[in-house]
């Protein structure tokens, strides 16, 4: 690799006196030159694909339907192609832990006993500049085995276990829709996805190969096979740029949008030399259904989010099709999240919740998934037991082709097949959870414990989307109250007062509660539905 020319990227809106620690180690001239080249080559196509999303959404609004693509039927009908075989480090994925890349989580996730850690720069991480840079520092330090952490509250110290016991890292960069305003070329911000991918790949690709692993990624919020094609082009270019073999990068795509559910095979095909699997992401998937079919009438109105389990007919169609598709093409199928936070102070409630987690993971393993997600280290042995019981000594069950599965286009959007209705308490919960999550996000926290669950940005998205949908549809709850903007405002004001009473005036004033309240109401009630709440929220971040 030849020496790069000085990077034209400008670091903007960063006070030199308050720059994150060790920023210069990450933003080297060579690394910035690489990110700049990614930006020049691929951001124009990113922009075209974002515009294509808008056009497709307009078509869904017109038809209230989706179908498998006729123009790619030849890809689905061709039985011969498979994705590349999984590298050894990604062959057994029976338990994956997710979380942000802060220093404590980095250590705990790597030590957790999970096979994989989803190191998250996206939904579980608020993209403050300190988090963007700090996450890159923490991953390098972990690979160099020079990472430790002492909790300032408890004084407890954390350090890595022996290398052979550590989880394999799979990094999730930000979605295509988010820009990074702190890095700009000629006044144009670089997409956050290219910043997260570019800095991590440039600094760690060879380092990971030396450790017997590789640069592995989770690709979020993909909406079409054309977006997967763009990622594949980026991987090809990046591998050539740093001089490593094609196929070294491996990517797992989150099927967390309703449009992507109709293009699973095509997505794997576009990434076939770099693909390692697909994942079923529940909350973002439901958010995507509401977003795309929000004006589709009564039959698309979702009930309370907790009533939409993975056993709902349209969710079961989605997950079974995902397993069938992955195994047909030799890819891993990774199941959904167990977000419960164990509570040792209430053994009875704890065991009830753990029983639900076991049942969920037993179902996934029985359905043919090769692994699944958890949000807390204490859930790793629970999920592992479910998959151990099915897999035994095998690393996966890709030989289970699930040829019994037959899913129609209509099955995937049969929201009205679920026998449940929105409730007044569901509205209250959506306001409460949305407010509390957004408040923490604005303070730089992306993974937040709320009412016994580990929540991330997808939680806030489904919460505000359901509020929007219920108000727009004029839902009448079981208590006779109608979902209106005034009702939502009343509940939000009551929640703000309740929080103040709960935490006290001083803590309330130190937080971002009023901003969170106002932002939730904006993205939940504005007639012009915001594509992602993180877009207006990002303008409020440091």
**Residues taking part in catalysis:** 172, 456
For 159, list phi and psi in degrees, rounded to 5.
-150, 160
Taking the C-alpha atoms of residue 460 and residue 462, their distance in angstroms, rounded to an integer, is 6
Which pair of structure tokens corresponds to residue 342?
Answer: 């164990």
**Nearest Cα to Cα of residue 76 among 278, 334, 321, 252:** 321
| Residue 128: strand, helix, or coil | coil
d(CA 125, CA 450): 16
Whole-angstrom distance, CA of residue 496 vs CA of residue 514:
8
Going by their DSSP bridges, the two strands 116-120 and 168-172 should be labelled as: parallel
Helix (H) or strand (E) holding 146: none
Reference 31, options 178, 145, 190, 217; nearest CA is 190
User: DSSP assignment of 491-518, as one string?
Assistant: HHHHHHHHHHHHH-HHHHHHTTHHHHHH
Q: List the Cα angle 507/376/534 in 5-degree steps.
A: 55
Question: Contacts from 151-155 at CB under 8 Å and sequence distance 24+?
Answer: 151/104
List 180's β-bridge partners, or say none.
Answer: 190
CA–CA separation, 338 and 353 (whole Å) = 10
Interhelix angle 424-442/457-473, nearest 10 degrees = 140
């Amino acid at each position: 690799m030849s020496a790069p020319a000085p990077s034209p990227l400008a670091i903007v809106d960063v006070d030199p006196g308050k720059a994150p620690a060790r920023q210069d180690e990450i933003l080297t001239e060579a690394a910035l030159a690489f990110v700049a080249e990614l930006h020049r080559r691929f951001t124009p196509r990113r922009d075209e694909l974002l515009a294509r999303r808008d056009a497709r959404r307009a078509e869904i609004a017109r038809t209230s339907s989706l179908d498998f693509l006729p123009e790619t039927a030849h890809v689905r009908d061709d039985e011969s192609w498979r994705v590349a075989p999984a590298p050894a480090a990604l062959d057994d994925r029976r338990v994956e832990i997710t979380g942000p890349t802060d220093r404590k989580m980095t250590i705990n996730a790597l030590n957790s006993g999970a096979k994989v850690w989803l190191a998250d720069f996206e939904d579980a991480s608020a993209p403050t500049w300190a988090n963007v840079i700090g996450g890159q520092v923490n991953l390098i330090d972990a690979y160099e085995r020079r990472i430790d952490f002492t909790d300032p509250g408890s004084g407890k110290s954390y350090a890595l276990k022996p290398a052979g016991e550590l989880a394999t890292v799979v990094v999730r960069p930000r979605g295509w829709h988010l820009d990074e305003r702190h890095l700009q070329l000629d006044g144009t911000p670089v997409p956050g996805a290219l910043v997260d991918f570019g800095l991590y790949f440039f600094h760690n690709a060879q380092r990971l190969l030396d450790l017997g692993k590789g640069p592995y990624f989770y690709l979020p919020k993909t909406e079409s096979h054309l977006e997967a094609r763009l990622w594949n082009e980026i991987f090809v270019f990046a591998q050539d740029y740093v001089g490593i073999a094609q196929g070294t990068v491996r990517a797992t795509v989150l099927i967390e949008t309703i449009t992507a559910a109709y293009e699973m095979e095509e997505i794997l095909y576009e990434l076939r030399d770099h693909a390692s699997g697909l994942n079923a992401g529940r909350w973002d998937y439901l958010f995507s259904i509401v977003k795309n079919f929000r004006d589709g009438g009564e039959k698309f109105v979702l009930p309370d989010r907790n009533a939409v389990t993975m056993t709902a007919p349209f969710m079961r169609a989605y997950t079974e099709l995902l397993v069938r598709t992955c195994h047909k093409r030799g890819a891993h199928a990774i199941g959904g999240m167990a977000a419960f936070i164990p509570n040792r102070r209430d053994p009875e409630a704890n065991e009830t919740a753990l029983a639900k987690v076991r049942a969920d993971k037993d179902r996934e393993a029985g359905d043919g998934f090769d692994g699944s997600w958890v949000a807390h280290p204490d859930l790793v042995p629970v999920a592992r037991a479910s998959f151990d019981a099915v897999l035994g000594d095998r690393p996966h069950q890709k030989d289970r082709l699930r040829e019994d599965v037959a899913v129609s286009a209509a099955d995937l959007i049969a929201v009205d097949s679920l026998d449940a209705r929105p409730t007044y308490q569901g509205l209250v919960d959506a306001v409460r959870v949305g407010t509390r999550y957004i408040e923490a996000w604005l303070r730089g926290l992306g993974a937040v414990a709320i009412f016994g669950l580990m929540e991330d940005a997808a939680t806030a998205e489904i919460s505000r989307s359901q509020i929007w949908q219920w108000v727009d549809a004029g839902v009448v709850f079981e208590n006779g109250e109608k979902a209106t903007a005034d009702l939502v405002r009343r509940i939000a004001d009551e929640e703000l007062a309740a929080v103040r009473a709960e935490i006290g005036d001083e803590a309330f004033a130190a937080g971002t509660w009023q901003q969170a309240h106002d932002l939730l109401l904006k993205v939940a009630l504005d007639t012009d539905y915001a594509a992602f709440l993180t877009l207006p929220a990002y303008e409020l971040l440091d």
